[in-house]
Every structure is written in C-alpha cells, then in structure tokens.
Structure 1
C-alpha cells in the first residue's frame, strides 16, 4: 500500500504535468475568441417582421457563406443578417449572381464574429440557421434559404 509520504512526493514531483496543460489551455482559449469592439454593429431589428422568403440559397463553407441568387431580382445596398446577430453591409447581389461572404466580415453588436469551421478550430462553427436581407430601416426583412453543404448532404 502507498503511504501518504509517497503520494505527496509523487504529487510534488509531477504537479507540473497537471498545471502546465491547464495554464496553456487557459492562455490559448482566452486569445482565440474573435472579438474586436471597434467593429461592433447595431443590434438586430427585432421590430421588423420577415415579409417573405426568396429563392436565394446560402451554403456554408469552411470560413464563408456562398450566396446564390436564383431569382430575377437585384438587391443593392443592403444588410445581410446571420442568425439574428451578425451583420455585413453588401453593395449588391444581382440576379443570377453568386457571391462569397467571408465570415470574418460579419460582426455583432459587441464586436464578435461568427466562428468558422476547419481542422484547427477552437470552437464549434456557427450554425447556419437564419439568413435575412434588410433593404432599409422600415421594410420587412427578406428570408433566404439556408442549405447544407454537399459534404453533409451526401452522408
């Protein structure tokens, strides 16, 4: 049986094995959150209803959203909202056009950005739940069609 002295000696010699991973994990996790307060935006306009859903597909990529406008409608000078939180201003989305919007170009009201996917990520990627277009301050929002990426659909 192990004596208390042997256990204490063992713990003193190898306490760094426990301490170092905890300290390193704390240091890494505290620095990897994408947060820039100077890029904070306005809050989501909860007072505006969603008026319609149009056939504009939004496909999540590793670090971006691929937006495919399958309609005959041009959208100019609008805000694109993700999950009622993150927003990016876009100059145009023409009929039939496909654009790629980097996730790190979208910001929320506290200066946070969505988490992207990838092999070396620290957090789970931000899910694609709700994507909307806001054309002005008073018109109803326009809903887009979130779509799963091909890699997930083939499973």
Structure 2
C-alpha cells in the first residue's frame, strides 16, 4: 500500500514538474539576439544607388557565399543586407569565393540577422537586397543575390 502511494505521488510530481521544466528549457533558448556593444552604424540611405556589379551572392543555410566575378580587388569593405544589417569583409579578390556567417551581421542597435538554423526560435529572414560599400563615405553598389527556388 505504501509503495503504491509513493508511486502515485512520484507520478503526480513528474506530471507537475515536466511542463514547468519544459517551459524553463524553452525560455532559456529564447535569449535576446541583440547586443548594443556589437552595433554597427545605421544604413546610409543617402548613399544608396541603383548601380550593380557582377558579384553573385548565394545563400547556403546560415552562410552566404560571395563570388567576385569582377577584375577588381575589394579590400576593407562593408557588406550590407536588406538595408539594415552590416558586417565587415577584409578582402575579396577577383575570382575569389568567400563565405560569411549570417550571424555576424548586426544592425545599428546590435540586433543580429535572423539567419535561422537548427535551433532557431523565429523564422529565418530572407537575403533580399545585398550591397557592398568600399568605405563609409562611398555609395552603395548592389550585388546579385541568387535566391534558391521554392523546392531547394
């Protein structure tokens, strides 16, 4: 009789604690994705142009692959995504292919680009507009964003 009562009590406690544990675990995974210390400068809308260079950008999960099809070396540039998120790129030589982690892109308040991934808590953002900026006072130059098809 006592063992049956202990079994029922332990089952009751398990049923009571399991949802609470799952809620704590889920809330622990939902940490803020911004850090003001990692903020970049605001997007310079006054420097936006419609110029485009033949540099292709392919999304590969939580990374982008940048392929320089020009004969120009790009050094110490800023890559901008969706007129909001920026990340520095040290060098992009002619014909070179460079991979950049989308989690490295931040906006002017330090919010991280929603790159997605296995443990994501929000849907991944699309890379719709991607630009390169040679220096802070230079105009933006668009790159070619190659989007995967719906079935890819």
The alignment's TM-score, normalised by the length of structure 2, stands at: 0.77
Q: Give the structure 1 partner of residue 56 of structure 2.
A: 57
Counterparts of 1:77 and 1:17, CA distance in 2: 51
Q: 1:90 to 1:18 in 2, by over 3 A?
A: closer
Matched, 1:142 2:141: yes
CA distance in 2 between counterparts of 1:118 and 1:89 reads 22
Any stretches of 5+ residues in structure 2 without a counterpart? 1-14
Q: Distance in 1 between matches of 2:98 and 2:121?
A: 27
Cα separation, 1, equivalents of 2:59 and 2:124:
10
Cα separation, 1, equivalents of 2:29 and 2:91: 38
> Do structure 1's residue 81 and structure 2's residue 80 form an aligned pair?
yes
**What SS does the corresponding residue of 2:37 show, helix, strand or coil?**
helix
Aligned residues: 140
Per the TM alignment, residue 118 of structure 1 is displaced from its structure 2 partner at its CA by 2.5
Q: 1:153 to 1:94 in 2, by over 3 A?
A: farther
- Which residue in the other structure is 1:93 paired with? 92
SS in 1 for 2:33: coil
Deviation of 1:28 (Å): 3.8
Distance between the aligned counterparts of 1:28 and 1:154, measured in 2? 29
Query: Hey, what's the Cα distance between the residues in 2 that align with 1:40 and 1:65?
Result: 20
Q: Provide Cα deviations, 1:123-155, integer angstroms capped at 9, x if missing partner.
A: 111211111011123332110011123xx3655
Can you give the 5+ residue segments of structure 1 that lack an aligned partner in the other structure?
1-13
1:107 paired to 2:114: no
